[in-house]
Amino acid sequence: MRLELGRIKIKDIQFGEKTVVKEGTLYVNRAELIKFLKEDNRIADVDVDLARPGESIRIIPVKDVIEPRVKVSGKGCIFPGILGKPETVGEGRTHVLDGVCVITAGKIVGFQEGIIDMTGPGAQYTPFSKTNNIVVVCHPEVGLSKHDHEAAVRIAGLKAAKYLGEAGKEVEPDEINVFETLPLKETLNMYPNLPRVAYVYMLQSQGLLHDTYVYGVDAKRIIPTFIYPTEIMDGAVISGNCVSACDKNTTYHHLNNPVIRELYNRNGKDINFIGVIITNENVTLADKQRSSDYTSKLVEYIGADGVIITEEGFGNPDTDLIMNCTKLEEKGIKTVIIADEYAGRDGMSQSLADASKSADAMVSVGNANELITLPKLDKVLGDIDAAEVIAGGFSGSLSEDGSMIVEIQAIIGSTNELGLSYLSAVKY
């Protein structure tokens, strides 16, 4: 499959009479967007606001972050299976409003949602303090169940991203990035002298508002399977979960997975990138055994020499991570895992909930239990009272002056396990 991503660089966002891109600025018809989102009868009202880098704005609690995109050519639509037929995507051309995000917020759905500060010390931990954000604050109908609440907000964010993405359909991109993966037979023979590397992409699927969707199907219902990398880059996988904010893979993270990008960058240079296997993170031991057995079988079947594994979340999913790693190593396939740590506020506790001698090559993306003080900001979009409920917050987190003390796990993307974050190791 060959996918062209046409990136339209957006330097500013403004409200305007028409939703359109002009000279690097995205103008948004606020009233039209609100009317469009309120077509869902589960939503009583919607507020739409803007948050730009450096502004004294706090967004809380954040549900999802989505990058506006539109299919220009090729099969399918953006977010297939959710906003259109579940046709296979990953080919043709898709235009991207680069530098813009839709952020959904409002009354808390699950306790594991998070914070985005556009300035101050918290802004240093999230990539979304650097983007121009259209913040969609949804007010669901009274009495809606949590699952319906989550679904309504999730779909509102995707619809808003699609609506905004349409503004870039006829715009000439500032740059075009091309990604191509050939059928497996050709891929395996392309660079015979380089090690064959695959990517095992673990998707959160524990239920209880911990879900990821693949072409509209809840990932807990799938068995591990092959997928073209370009399908993921083209909206086949979306977030629908309330895992801790620090290591939540928002829809933006799926669309811009840096592991996939780097594997493409290295392809033909020092590795042969042979593909992606998506797998799930289940709750029961039997499900974990089934998925990890199936994953290792698929990786062995395609002839991989090495594998990168990423997880989403912590605790229970650490078991899936270690089981995948151990079974691959037992087959002689070298593995590297990427994960964050929950090592306590002093950094002295066990980092992962499971361990194995086989897991001897790990990239750590940070300790989520680290404490941070966030000062009062001038404007809050959403519900500030969520500060004492979200994971990483606690009773007493929120001070009378509007400042708060939280663990960095409360900040969206601070220890993202795909590596789309700002923390790094320091050599002493």
Residue 227 near residue 202 (C-beta atoms within 8 A) = no
> Per-residue pLDDT averaged across 41-59, rounded?
96
pLDDT per position as a tens digit, 262-283: 999 999 999 999 999 999 999 9
Structure token pair of residue 110: 């699950």
Q: State residue 54's pLDDT score.
A: 97
Residue 248 — φ and ψ, nearest 5°?
-70, 130
Q: Which two tokens stand for residue 171?
A: 């715009």
Q: What pLDDT is recorded for position 347? A: 84
How far apart (Å, rounded) are the C-alpha atoms in residues 101 and 92?
A: 23
In this structure, the number of other CB atoms found within 10 A of the CB of residue 174 comes to 12
The one catalytic residue in 77, 138, 242, 246 is: 242
DSSP 8-class letter at 411: B
CB atoms near residue 21 (< 10 Å)? 20
C-alpha span between 266 and 64 (Å, rounded): 30
Residue 423 confidence (pLDDT): 87
Instruction: Check pLDDT > 80 for residue 118.
Output: yes
How many whole angstroms separate alpha carbon 403 and alpha carbon 121?
12
Domain extent listing, the chain: 2-410
Q: Please tell me the predicted confidence (pLDDT) of residue 346.
A: 86
Q: What is the pLDDT of residues 318-369, one digit of tens each?
A: 999 999 999 999 999 999 999 999 988 888 888 888 888 999 999 999 999 9
Burial class (CB in 10 A: 0-12, 13-18, 19+), 285: exposed
| Model confidence at 428: pLDDT above 70 | no
DSSP string, 218-243: EGGGPPPEEE-HHHHHTTSEEE----
- Identify the pLDDT of residue 354: 86
Global pTM? Answer: 0.95
Pairwise CA distance, residues 183 & 186, whole Å: 6
pLDDT tens per residue across span 285-309: 999 999 999 999 999 999 999 999 9
Residue 134's nearest CA partner among 116, 107, 109, 108 is 116
- Three-state DSSP class for residue 310: strand
Q: For 66-105, what is each residue's pLDDT tens digit?
A: 999 999 999 999 999 999 999 999 999 999 999 999 999 9
Phi, psi of 260, deg, nearest 5: -65, -45
> Residue 218's CB: how many other CB atoms inside 10 A?
15
Task: Give the three-class secondary structure for 129.
Answer: helix
Q: Is 101 a catalytic residue?
A: no
pLDDT, position 62: 95
d(CA 402, CA 124): 19
Checking if the pLDDT of 31 tops 90, the result is yes
Q: What is the pLDDT of residue 427?
A: 67
**pLDDT at residue 378, rounded to an integer:** 96
pLDDT band at residue 112 under the 50/70/90 scheme: confident
**How many whole angstroms separate alpha carbon 67 and alpha carbon 145?**
27
Q: Which of 122-126, 141-145, 310-314, 407-411 has the lowest mean pLDDT?
A: 141-145
* Band of residue 108 on the pLDDT scale cut at 50, 70, 90: confident
d(CA 200, CA 206): 18
Nearest to 115 by CA among 400, 418, 389, 423: 389
Q: Is the dihedral of CA 147, 150, 156, 157 positive or negative?
A: negative
| Model confidence pLDDT, tens digit, residues 164-211 | 999 999 999 999 999 999 999 999 999 999 999 999 999 998 887 889
- The beta strands (E) that lie in 245-355 are given as 272-281, 306-310, 334-341
* DSSP β-ladder status, 225-227 and 272-281: antiparallel
Residue range 398-418: mean pLDDT, rounded = 94
